[in-house]
Amino acid sequence: MTTLTNRQVRLAKRPVGTPGRECWSFTHEPVVQPEDGGVLVKILALSLDPAMRGWMNEGKSYIPPVGIGEVMRAGGVGTVVASNNPAFAVGDTVNAGLGVQEYCLIPAAELKASGIFKIDLRVGSATQWLNVLGMPGMTGYFGLMDVGMPQPGETVVVSGAAGAVGQTVGQMAKIKGCRVVGIAGGAAKCDWVVKELGFDACIDYKAGPGAVRAGLKEHAPKGVDIYFDNVGGEILDDVLAKINRKARIIICGAISQYNNTAAVQGPKNYLSLLVNRARMEGIVVFDYADRYHLAVAEMAGYLKDGRMKSKEDVVKGLDTFPETLLKLFNGENFGKLVLQVAESE
Amino acid sequence: MTTLTNRQVRLAKRPVGTPGRECWSFTHEPVVQPEDGGVLVKILALSLDPAMRGWMNEGKSYIPPVGIGEVMRAGGVGTVVASNNPAFAVGDTVNAGLGVQEYCLIPAAELKASGIFKIDLRVGSATQWLNVLGMPGMTGYFGLMDVGMPQPGETVVVSGAAGAVGQTVGQMAKIKGCRVVGIAGGAAKCDWVVKELGFDACIDYKAGPGAVRAGLKEHAPKGVDIYFDNVGGEILDDVLAKINRKARIIICGAISQYNNTAAVQGPKNYLSLLVNRARMEGIVVFDYADRYHLAVAEMAGYLKDGRMKSKEDVVKGLDTFPETLLKLFNGENFGKLVLQVAESE
């Protein structure tokens, strides 16, 4: 058997501000076959997520940072190419924490922590399993449903509307009978969010100063009952100024702040929570792991019957990882950002 | 019958920053007897509260601002001295929105909005009815119990610990089996909070830079499960950095920010809500009006059996109102701030 080579992207240094190519090192090493209980996965596609920026920082968070010299953490989809574990057969497609590399050897002891599970490509494509049916979809689903608790007729606003989480939130909120207003960057994304995903409106935050405030006034005339926040910063403050009594704000991320070298900008309108007896609550998707299968089953049904769509922005090639990741932070990605590592098994 | 004179304090202009004497006008007019369904109340004592600063500002809030030229809004306790309403007899003691004046005529049409209710001086003194048994007590009780949902063994932190709301929160949390850490200004208040009210510890935020962070490290070694925030600003950020998973932060006020002429300081550590799946929620006491009697009954029992204490800082004389109010904002008041308007009926 020919020895296969595994190419890898490792964290070389912690970034200050926007992470450039100097933060990464490219390595290669022979692929190692799995021992008792382990599996070897050939990676098809990796999920690139805003949360990755946080994993690059030192310090306490909801999971430990990636260590210097370690393969960069990433969730992905791949094919089992060797198995010493009866639960996984060669040819199975799996979703797991695989890392930014071509092959991932998962020893028996690390299977559980990797979050590995088999996926059914008849239910959704590999990239859909990284989007609506994957972590972003689960984040949007449980954040909206469990924390937001949408009621028919309520107004739901979601930032990052064209992104992976935003797509799920907005489409689920429409299915639940809400008025849905997205916030996204640029006319093309906004058009797509309205025409393809069926949002009631989408505000282009890049349309100039005051665009979000004016857009909310026009498109959320009854105020905002639920705000699903992926961006933080000024947009969070603009929405806080328009919330209704007993509003729920889901804090999922703050992509506008992740590359700040100064302190995070706190929401200066937070006292709107007091006036409106409203709630702001953080969500971490892992807390809902025991119910992922229920959300997948529900949303797979919507994908099949056309009530939901799943758009991915697929970029090819492991080598492009440093630059592709930055698309998330300058708002260039159009749909869920996916790095395609291999064409097929 | 001699014509009585009613002296009044009216809002003369909206303040910029700290409200000085120039914001107030002193007027007097004859006392008018009540017509059908109305009552006339001689005011004994008024509650001075941080919320008053908000009522002086123009703009939308949870209640309309006080108009220029209007008698300043204030809750208080007084004696019915004339009544044309069978529900109230001369000699009854009542709690109501009475205004900063000596007498309050409440016409029939305004009785409901005034929130008037009879109080029983055997249950608590007039000033206790403005403190633990009054609006601050209700605010503390329902904020802690309904939003905070304290569990035995949890760590509860409360700022403004020696103030009206803080006393109630801390003592109720102790009764519910929590570890309670207060934050107050100055060694005397901190000593009192620990020795008299029975808090486990109290942090003097005036003890120097970093005092709150160091104090939390020492006195909340297992982290913070509930934070009842009366102050906002840096202290809110310091506590956010120490919250536990699923922590609840009750936003009751932000006295550090009320006299700001610049924008309110947003909590730059708000993303701690995300990491910790925690919640920040505002409370307005009026929402719980239909359950005030239950909280009063419970806390009156604790006052009687000595498990709770109620400390008021009583200042005499309507004329001192402008300066007395400022004690709230420079942290001079020691216990619930009360303006005594008359010695008795």
Percent of chain A with pLDDT over 90: 82
- Compute the distance between CA of residue B78 and CA of residue B345 in angstroms, rounded to an integer: 8
Please give the single-letter amino acid code of residue B227: Y
Per residue in A200-215, pLDDT tens? 999 999 999 999 999 9
Residue pairs between chains A and B whose CB atoms are closer than 8 Å:
107
Instruction: Average the pLDDT over A48-52 and give the result.
Output: 90
Among A72-81, A113-122, B103-112, which stretch is predicted with the lowest mean pLDDT?
A113-122
- Compute the distance between CA of residue B79 and CA of residue B101 in angstroms, rounded to an integer: 14
Contact B209, B203 (CB under 8 A): no
Name chain B contacts of A251, Cβ cutoff 8 Å.
270-271, 273-274
Name chain B contacts of A237, Cβ cutoff 8 Å.
266
- What pLDDT is recorded for position A74? 96
**Interface test with chain B among A240, A245, A251, A256, by most B beta carbons within 10 Å:** A251
Instruction: Average the pLDDT over A170-198 and give the result.
Output: 96
- What pLDDT is recorded for position A278? 98
Q: With cut-offs at 50, 70 and 90, classify the pLDDT of residue A146.
A: very high
Number of CB atoms found within 10 A of residue B261's CB: 8
**Interface test with chain A among B60, B280, B284, by most A beta carbons within 10 Å:** B280
Nearest to B276 among A263, A280, A282 (CB): A282
Tell whether the model's pLDDT for residue B60 goes beyond 90: no
Q: Residues of A near B (CB-CB distance < 8 A)?
A: 60-62, 232, 237, 251-254, 257, 263-284, 287
Instruction: Average the pLDDT over B168-189 and give the result.
Output: 97
- Compute the distance between CA of residue A137 and CA of residue A108 in angstroms, rounded to an integer: 28
Looking at A33-173, which runs of residues are DSSP E strands? 39-47, 75-83, 93-97, 103-106, 117-118, 155-159
Q: Where are the alpha helices (DSSP H) in chain B?
A: 51-55, 111-114, 135-142, 164-175, 187-195, 211-219, 233-240, 272-275, 292-305, 321-326
CB within 8 Å of A123: residues ≥ 6 apart: A133, A296, A300
Looking at chain A, which runs of residues are DSSP E strands? 5-11, 24-30, 39-47, 75-83, 93-97, 103-106, 117-118, 155-159, 179-184, 201-204, 224-229, 243-251, 279-282, 312-316, 336-340
The Cα of B211 is separated from the nearest Cα of chain A by a number of Å equal to 21
Beta bridge partners of B201: B181
Nearest to B265 among A268, A273, A282 (CB): A268
Tell whether the model's pLDDT for residue B345 goes beyond 60: no
Write down the mean pLDDT value for chain B. Answer: 93
A251·B274 Cβ contact <8 A:
yes
Per residue in A304-341, pLDDT tens? 999 999 989 999 999 999 999 999 888 788 889 999 99
Provide the ipTM. 0.85
Nearest to A279 among B268, B271, B281 (CB): B281
A257·B237 Cβ contact <8 A:
no
- What pLDDT is recorded for position A258? 72
A269·B270 Cβ contact <8 A:
no
B271·A283 Cβ contact <8 A:
no
The Cα of A276 is separated from the nearest Cα of chain B by a number of Å equal to 7
Q: How many CA atoms lie within 13 A of B121 on its CB side?
A: 12
- Supply the pTM of this predicted model: 0.87
The dihedral through the CA atoms of B262, B268, B271, B275 has a sign that is: negative
**Interface test with chain A among B62, B255, B271, B272, by most A beta carbons within 10 Å:** B271
Superfamily of domain A5-131+311-340, CATH level 4: Medium-chain alcohol dehydrogenases, catalytic domain (3.90.180.10)
Among A157-166, A282-291, B258-267, which stretch is predicted with the lowest mean pLDDT?
B258-267
- What pLDDT is recorded for position A2? 67
Instruction: Name the percent of chain B in helix, strand, coil, to the closest 5.
Output: 30, 25, 45
Q: With cut-offs at 50, 70 and 90, classify the pLDDT of residue A38.
A: very high
CB within 8 Å of A332: residues ≥ 6 apart: A326
Name chain A contacts of B283, Cβ cutoff 8 Å.
274, 277
A281·B284 Cβ contact <8 A:
no
**N-to-C CA span, chain A:** 17
Each residue of B288-319: b (16+ CB within 10 Å) or e? beeebeebbeebbebbeeeebbbbbbebeebe
Q: Does domain A135-286 have CATH number 3.60.21.10?
A: no
Name chain B contacts of A257, Cβ cutoff 8 Å.
271
Instruction: Average the pLDDT over B95-124 and give the result.
Output: 94
B270·A283 Cβ contact <8 A:
no
The Cα of B229 is separated from the nearest Cα of chain A by a number of Å equal to 11
- What pLDDT is recorded for position A344? 66
So where are chain B's domains? 5-131+311-340, 135-286
